[in-house]
Amino acid sequence: MIPQYVAASVVSQNKMYCYAASTDSIVSSNGQEDHVSMGATSAIKLLKVMDNLDIILSIELMNGVQALEFRRPLKSSPLIEKVVKVYRKEVPFIDEDIVMYKEIRKTVTFLNRLETEAL
């Protein structure tokens, strides 16, 4: 359950980052400025949300592939089976309690590479 707790925590963090940056705008130049752009702040928050999304999707993939392994000898679609086969070359089946951050990081790397390569 620890990866699921991590995912829930990261989702909550994303909700925090998604509040409008303009709510934290402050007056500058002794009230002469009526608008302070928060564009840079918004961009930084977006980058954090995207990094967090990598973690969330990685945990979902890791848990989904683990669940599929419990269904053997049943199989899924050919495409999903291909993804599982390639994924298992990098992240093994988890059969005992371990510290999961290494597997989550390996899965982030796998997904990022999957974006740029065809299966």
Domain boundaries of the chain, sorted by first residue: 2-116
What whole-number distance in Å separates Cα of residue 40 and Cα of residue 46?
10
More confident residue, 117 or 119: 117
What whole-number distance in Å separates Cα of residue 41 and Cα of residue 39?
5
Q: Give 2-56 as a DSSP string.
A: HHHHHHHHHHHHHHHHTS-GGGG----GGGT-S----HHHHHHHHHHHHHHHHHH
Query: What's the sign of the alpha-carbon dihedral 18, 12, 92, 87?
Result: negative
The per-residue pLDDT for 76 is 94
Each residue's pLDDT tens digit, 26-79: 766 776 765 667 888 889 999 999 999 999 999 999 999 999 999 989 999 999
38: Cα separation from own chain's centroid? 25
Each residue's pLDDT tens digit, 21-30: 877 667 667 7
pLDDT, mean over the chain: 89
Tell me the fold of 2-116: Fumarase C; Chain A, domain 2 (1.20.200)
